[in-house]
Amino acid sequence: MPHRLSRPGRRIDPARALHFTFDGAPHRGFAGDTLASALLGAGRILMGRSFKYHRPRGPVTAGQDEPNALVGLGQGGRFEPNQRATATPLFEGLTAISQNRWPSLEHDVGSVNARLSRFLPAGFYYKTFLWPASFWKKVYEPVIRASAGLGRPPEGPDADRYEHLHTHCDLAIVGGGIAGLAAALEAGRAGRRVLLMEQDTIWGGRTVTDGAIDGTTIDGLDPAAWVARAVDDLSAMDSVTLRSGLMGAGVYDHGYLTAHERVADDRPGADAPRHRLWKIRAGHIVTATGGLERPLAFAGNDLPGVMLASAVRDYVCDYAVTPGRRVVIVTTNDDAYRTALALLDAGVEVPAVIDARSQVTGALPTRVRDRGVEIVTGSGLRAEGTGRVERVLVCDVTGDGTPTRRIACDAVAMSGGWSPVPHLWSHCGGKLTWNDERGFFAPDPDRPPVGADGTGMVSAIGTAAGHMDAAACLGQADTPVTQPVERLPRPTWIMPERAGPALRSKMFLDYQNDVKVSDIQLAAQEGFVSVEHAKRYTTLGMATDQGKLSNINGLAVLSDAVGRPIPDVGTTTFRPPYVPISMGSIAGEARGEIFQPLRRTPLHDWHEANGATWEPVGHWRRPYCYTRDGEDIRAAVSREIRNVRENVGLLDASTLGKIVVKGPDAGRFMDLLYTNMMSTLAVGRCRYGLMCSENGFLMDDGVVARLSEDTFLCHTTTGGADRIHAHMEEWLQTEWWDLKVHTANVTEQWAQIAVVGPRARDVLDRLGGMDLSRDAMPFMTWSDGTLADLPVRVFRISFSGELSYEVAVPANLGRALWDRLLEAGADMGVMPYGTEALHVLRAEKGFIMIGDETDGTVIPQDLGLHWAISKKKDDFIGKRGQQRSHMTDPDRWKLVGLETLDGGVLPDGAYAALDDRNANGQRKTEGRVTSTYYSPTLKRGIAMGLILNGPDRMGETVTFPGTDGKVHTARIVDPVFYDKQGARQDV
């Protein structure tokens, strides 16, 4: 049984006890423990159940590659599922729950699946739930969702904060084992800017633990001392940044590397970012990511108590826990003998080492043999037991599994050999080569991922490059290393190699997804011979460990099944992140109030304090309307509209784009930008203009004011300011760079307030400072001056049909002007109005709105705006596009007004349907609604729409089926519903 040993563990501090709970039961561990080591220390090996068959599982590993011991950590807004107990540092108060079981981990109803396993082969779901299609949503999906799955998702919003960090370096080294440390020392001594990161909390990698077992020395020091010296030396270098607890997650183009840091996982509730995502730009990336030990595919290899040999000695040496009292070792290589030595040193019984090799003569096996342990050569085994391993049956490794002897034990340490960790090397296209002698894929230094300069941007070193001894990992010829020499392993993909179906269906390759040797063989038999297809069919390697344990064994089995060598079968694609990272860290700071930038006008605070209902317009927030006590939104909008028509309203128009275009060629440029002739606009006057894309489609509109002979001010829509400025710059910089024109987007320099309504002039006159009379300032003119002693630029333009002035004032004075207007107009009924009133007011006048009447497929001619398209100009952006046959087609949908026969409001976006049907049986359409409102002025619904030959069909009726089943009938009318003569705005 697992238990704590009375000996020191390298990582733990027995003087500091920590308390935690697992499935509600209190336990105790030590500082330095992981959750898994603490549970083992507490005598507990069952930590989870598998995904498909709900088989009981204990930890297989002692690190990030763990497929079994997945738990839910934390509570409430800090709950996180699928966390690896083997890589979760223990802290005081930790709460963990097991997953994928009901009602409890020990008694799980779902484990009946295990007994049905031969009815649940690879592709079972694909095969079974295909037909009938109607069953999918109501029957199959709910059942599958209820029974499958990993942990449950957290409830409620994440309670923590996260952040990013951008950092740059010459050399980023991922992995702080001896290879990474040695590379950092060398680069640091050369004065290079180095970032060395290690996912573990301590430095040195495997060599420290293993070296203490086998007596390795580096430069005359034991590995721990050498590592400590290296870390000290590196810490003293200014150009080197050392960071443990930082996991290199992904490599992307041009030396871009992401890394994940767990900042405050062990301090729930601390006022600190929980995780931090590092976004690193490295001149060169070195992957010193070490290796992963492979499990062995023998029957019963998923029983709790069966672990990787390296994990067993990590638990013994680092955490002073053992998975059992009698541990059988099964191996294909010399490395596993270190585990035997570690167990023997700790006083744990090792009844035998089962070695697949027929000749076992290496230095490490010899030491084990010398200590009286039997080595059974040329052999394999299977494990048996109920709920955990209780015995192994030894057999000939080349045979069919006939047992030759039986050994009682309570744990098995297995080693199928080591593979380099190639993930980061491969993320961005680094290629691998197959090492047949040792049975692994390793980075091919001749085919690295390429950086901006065309040379390799990633180098693999150490075990990650395929080196399996300390001297090669160090890569320093002048550093003396003593280490027992290892003999070659014997790659063994199935144990025993001629096992029959009964055994093969108990050999697990992917523990988490319950993919067995038999599943891969079935997939191959059914034609899934591509590794990527076989992966998806069987789910091999799709678990949260992403095939860290299963990859090579799975490939080898597939290779054998399809009769092609392993390098031909190839690997599945390695994708970032190396280990799952939190969604929170990816979002970083972008949540809550700063999820996205919120643009505020200079009057934002006033709006907020005065009942504004907000409407998002791009990133801006604009008041939709201002509700008063007892009013709903609809009543508020109606009041605001009536007040503009009857008295005077104020609109915050600050968001409208304002772009200055200046230069000797400004007139020429304006003529190219706008469909109208702008060069003839007189100084002091304004003109409404249209801008099209080169395709001919209408993209923006607004009023242009000529400020001086060589300067124009272009107003754009709220959403258009940045886009149109970029559009102008693009044409100036990339097509017409000979034009002498400068542009500047000065949108935010100005607060702009529209003063609109019959009493607009009265209010402004009361502020004093400018003659705004009809004669002094006619419609479509502008003027600089002061109002209430504030410097202003006044435009006499109207988007409502009423007498209207738009007053621009430097943004920091916007609030002052607004306050004065409200004060001056108090007895004239002045009140603010929002965007909905703005929309209705313009619709009553038949003015188009970009984004309502246009959608990127509409040309100005569709909207009856021929008058704004110059026929005199040789060229403007969009002119050629509008000459295409489809644009000049007389049968285009064109703008008209629509009046319902019953006075109701048409549904927005409704299509005008004909009785005829098209080839698909759908009703043909002849138009659609583009804007539709209730007009409080006219006390009826009004709408605009694009209708086939609309302008020629005045008085005809069209029908609009609504989504509610109701059919609306509307008459085609002139789009100007109110004050057709335009008398009101020109007073």
Partner 1 sequence: MSDHATPLAQARSDGYVTVAEDAPRDMIQLKGDLSDPGLADAVERIAHAAMPGPLGLSTSDSAWIAWMAPDELLISLARGQGADALSSLSRAMGDRHHLALDVSDMRAAIRLEGAAVREILAKVAPIDAVTLPVNTVRRTRVAQVPAALWLSGPRTAHVICFRSVGRYVFDLLSLSARRGGEIGAF
Partner 2 sequence: MLILDCPYCGVRCDETELTPGGEAHLTRHGPGSDDADFERYLFQRRNPRGVHLERWRHAYGCGKWFHAARHTVTMQVFGTYPAQTTEPPADIVERIRASDPDWTFGDDT
**Interface residues for partner 2 in 826-885 (CB under 8 A)?**
874-875, 879-881, 883-884
Smallest gap from residue 729 Cβ to partner 2 (A): 6
Q: Which amino acid is at 694?
A: E
Q: How many residues line the site for partner 2 (CB under 8 A)? A: 27
Residues contacting residue 564 through CB under 8 Å, at least 6 positions apart: 529
Q: Which amino acid is at 888?
A: T
> Does 256 sit near partner 2 (CB under 8 A)?
yes
DSSP string, 267-319: STT-SSEEEEEEEEEEEEEEE---EEEPP--BTTTTSTTEEEHHHHHHHHHHH
Across-strand partners of 786?
791
396 binds, among partner 2, partner 1, none (CB under 5 to 8 A by kind): none
Q: From residue 603 to residue 632, what is the string marking binding to partner 2 with x (rule CB under 8 A)? A: ------------------------------
Listed ranges 119-127, 268-276, 425-433, 467-475: which one lies at the site for partner 1 (CB under 8 A): 268-276
Closest by alpha carbon to 304, among 13, 609, 58, 130?
A: 58
Of 564 and 742, nearer to partner 2 (C-beta) is 742
> Does 749 sit near partner 1 (CB under 8 A)?
yes
Q: Which of 253, 568, 605, 916 binds partner 2 (CB under 8 A)?
A: 253
Q: Which two tokens stand for residue 132?
A: 């009938």
726 binds, among partner 2, partner 1, none (CB under 5 to 8 A by kind): partner 2
143 binds, among partner 2, partner 1, none (CB under 5 to 8 A by kind): none
The β-bridge relationship of strands 13-22 and 25-31 is: antiparallel
450 binds, among partner 1, partner 2, none (CB under 5 to 8 A by kind): partner 2
Question: Running DSSP on this structure, what letter comes out for residue 830?
Answer: -
Give the Å distances, CA to CA, from 258 to 286, 453, 586, 705. 13, 20, 10, 49
Of 568 and 589, nearer to partner 1 (C-beta) is 589
Across-strand partners of 898?
943, 972
Give the Å distances, CA to CA, from 609 to 606, 641, 816. 5, 21, 16
Q: In angstroms, rounded to a whole number, what is the distance separating the alpha carbons of residues 874 and 884?
A: 16
Of 34 and 585, nearer to partner 2 (C-beta) is 585
> Does 270 sit near partner 1 (CB under 8 A)?
yes
Listed ranges 208-216, 776-784, 807-815, 914-922: which one lies at the site for partner 1 (CB under 8 A): 807-815
734 binds, among partner 1, partner 2, none (CB under 5 to 8 A by kind): partner 2
Compute φ and ψ for 555, nearest 5 degrees. Answer: -60, -40
Smallest gap from residue 713 Cβ to partner 2 (A): 19
Q: From residue 223 to residue 242, what is the string marking binding to partner 1 with x (rule CB under 8 A)? A: ------------------x-
Smallest gap from residue 742 Cβ to partner 2 (A): 12
**Interface residues for partner 1 in 811-830 (CB under 8 A)?**
811-816
Compute φ and ψ for 224, nearest 5 degrees. Answer: -60, -40
Q: Which of 29, 74, 188, 273 binds partner 1 (CB under 8 A)?
A: 273
**Interface residues for partner 1 in 785-804 (CB under 8 A)?**
790
Across-strand partners of 217?
482
Q: Are 330 and 303 in contact (CB under 8 A)?
A: no
420 binds, among partner 1, partner 2, none (CB under 5 to 8 A by kind): none
Of 67 and 273, nearer to partner 1 (C-beta) is 273
> Does 750 sit near partner 1 (CB under 8 A)?
yes
695 binds, among partner 1, partner 2, none (CB under 5 to 8 A by kind): partner 2
Of 429 and 810, nearer to partner 2 (C-beta) is 429
> Does 453 sit near partner 2 (CB under 8 A)?
yes
Give the Å distances, CA to CA, from 387 to 48, 205, 302, 410, 503. 12, 33, 10, 11, 18
Handedness of CA 562, 563, 568, 572 (dihedral sign): positive
Q: In angstroms, rounded to a whole number, what is the distance separating the alpha carbons of residues 720 and 509?
A: 56
**Interface residues for partner 1 in 580-619 (CB under 8 A)?**
589-590, 593-594, 596-602, 619
**Interface residues for partner 2 in 638-697 (CB under 8 A)?**
694-695
> Does 740 sit near partner 2 (CB under 8 A)?
no
Q: Report the 10 Å Cβ neighbour count for 310.
A: 26
451 binds, among partner 2, partner 1, none (CB under 5 to 8 A by kind): partner 2
Strands of the 94-98 sheet, one edge to the other: 25-31, 13-22, 94-98, 70-73, 80-84
Q: In angstroms, rounded to a whole number, what is the distance separating the alpha carbons of residues 46 and 824?
A: 78
**Interface residues for partner 1 in 638-697 (CB under 8 A)?**
660, 662-664
Listed ranges 158-166, 345-353, 571-579, 698-706: which one lies at the site for partner 1 (CB under 8 A): 158-166
591 binds, among partner 1, partner 2, none (CB under 5 to 8 A by kind): none
DSSP string, 119-136: GS-TTHHHHHSSS-THHI
109 binds, among partner 2, partner 1, none (CB under 5 to 8 A by kind): none
The β-bridge relationship of strands 698-708 and 923-935 is: unpaired
Smallest gap from residue 253 Cβ to partner 2 (A): 5
361 binds, among partner 1, partner 2, none (CB under 5 to 8 A by kind): none
Smallest gap from residue 444 Cβ to partner 2 (A): 16
In degrees, rounded to 5, the angle at the alpha carbon of residue 11 between the alpha carbons of residues 545 and 462 is: 55
Burial track 450-487 (b if 16+ CB lie within 10 A, e otherwise) = bbeeeebbbbbbbbbbbbbebbebbbeeeeebebbebe
> Does 272 sit near partner 2 (CB under 8 A)?
no
Listed ranges 79-87, 161-169, 320-328, 642-650: which one lies at the site for partner 1 (CB under 8 A): 161-169
- 889 three-state secondary structure: coil
Smallest gap from residue 560 Cβ to partner 2 (A): 33
Q: In angstroms, rounded to a whole number, what is the distance separating the alpha carbons of residues 395 and 381?
A: 5
Q: Which of 23, 349, 729, 823 binds partner 2 (CB under 8 A)?
A: 729
Q: How many residues line the site for partner 1 (CB under 8 A)? A: 50
Give the Å distances, CA to CA, from 708 to 458, 660, 796. 58, 11, 17
Across-strand partners of 221?
218
939 binds, among partner 2, partner 1, none (CB under 5 to 8 A by kind): none
Q: In angstroms, rounded to a whole number, what is the distance separating the alpha carbons of residues 776 and 794?
A: 12
Q: Which of 450, 471, 617, 790 binds partner 2 (CB under 8 A)?
A: 450
Handedness of CA 695, 697, 700, 705 (dihedral sign): positive
> Does 734 sit near partner 2 (CB under 8 A)?
yes
Of 644 and 656, nearer to partner 1 (C-beta) is 656
Of 594 and 726, nearer to partner 2 (C-beta) is 726
Smallest gap from residue 868 Cβ to partner 2 (A): 18
Q: In angstroms, rounded to a whole number, what is the distance separating the alpha carbons of residues 522 and 520?
A: 5
Listed ranges 11-19, 270-278, 445-453, 649-657: which one lies at the site for partner 2 (CB under 8 A): 445-453
Q: Report the 10 Å Cβ neighbour count for 162.
A: 21
- C-alpha 663 chain-centroid distance: 45
Contacts with partner 2, residue ranges (CB under 8 A): 252-256, 281, 450-454, 694-695, 726, 729-730, 733-735, 737, 874-875, 879-881, 883-884
Contacts with partner 1, residue ranges (CB under 8 A): 161, 163-168, 241, 243, 264, 270-273, 276, 279, 281, 589-590, 593-594, 596-602, 619-620, 660, 662-664, 740, 742-744, 746, 748-750, 790, 810-816
